[in-house]
Amino acid sequence: MVLTGKNNIGVYFKAAYEAKIVIPALNVPHVPMMSAIADTLAEYDAFGLIEVALLEIVKFKSQSWAVIAAEYERVADPRYTSLHADHTPAIDEDGLPVDWKAVFQEVLSLGYKSLMIDGSRLPFYENIKITSEVVKMAHPKDVFVEAELGAVSGHEEGPAIPYAELFAGKKGFTNPEEAGEFVKKTGVDWLSVAIGNVHGPIAAAVRNQPKVEAMLDIAHLKKIKAAAGIPLVLHGGSGVKQSDVDQAILNGITKINIGAVLRKAYEFALEGEGGNIAAGQAAVRDAMQNLICNLFHIEGSATRLRQLAGNQS
């Protein structure tokens, strides 16, 4: 289970975690979005992951793991990005089991540099078991593993729990003590946590509705960071209260997933411009500029992370 060290994304994450520089992870539910994302990262010398989740292949238009990998090779510059396989759940948002082993065998064969196993809908020790299995599959291939502990809601069908009720009752929040045990027993590299963040809805009837402005329980996050001791991940990053985003980055959140804001920019532009893909890509570039310059303040982060990583090597 020892990584060879040839994949520099792990060193980047370690440097980002220590320097409190966030690495955004940008989802690609429509293949033409990728070039706009990659080009904007390069334009601002910002480092981010380009990623796709299983549900984006099944329920949106990412097409396949292979199509995404091929498009990444065509348009992305590895000085500014790395390719990540986002959410592959053990049990999906519809309550159905997923053949995650087959998914990861394909992902590993295609050259993805990191991947995510989501066992959050399983009992705690079953989540540990499958996450450990994925680590044993990925680490010998020099691929980093993200897992999830706690329940980041939003993708499920049916009525959602009112957000105020979810936050006040800490519904699905990651247990700090369990986080420490989970990291120790699995050897996972990054941990996705639930601290008030929620995914944007994906059901066809509601996927374009405004997303709730989520809050983050920073005091709870500090406890998780102390227990886990590894880079932490915030899913559902679109629409989170700005001051909470800033505090989260200072307290262990190293990777923030962004999906809804980019997808909506692309889809709304296509709808308004009669399906013009170039208009959709321009809207994605505008949304990316706002993320890089105004939300995360990571202009120049690619060069800085390379320098920090070089100092650690």
Do residues 200 and 238 touch, judged by C-beta distance below 8 A? yes
Give me the helix-helix angle, 242-250 and 218-228, nearest 10°: 20
Instruction: Output the CA angle 156-172-65, nearest 5 degrees.
Output: 45
For residue 178, the one-letter residue type is E
Which tokens in the block code for residue 297?
């303040």
Give me the helix-helix angle, 33-43 and 260-272, nearest 10°: 120
Do residues 144 and 190 touch, judged by C-beta distance below 8 A? yes
Q: Is residue 118 flagged as an active site residue?
A: no
DSSP states of 198-255: -PPP-STTTTTSPPP-B---HHHHHHHHHHH-S-EEES--TTB-HHHHHHHHHTTEEE
Q: How far is CA 252 from CA 24, 192, 196, 221, 306, in A?
A: 14, 11, 15, 8, 20
Q: What is the DSSP letter of 140?
A: G
Of 52, 91, 86, give the one whose Cα is nearest residue 234: 86
Dihedral in degrees, nearest 10, Cα atoms 104, 105, 110, 114: 30
Dihedral in degrees, nearest 10, Cα atoms 18, 146, 69, 23: -30
Identify the active-site residue in 39, 77, 86, 92: 86
Do residues 187 and 135 touch, judged by C-beta distance below 8 A? yes
Q: How far apart are CA 133 and CA 100, in angstroms?
A: 11
Residues designated as active site? 86
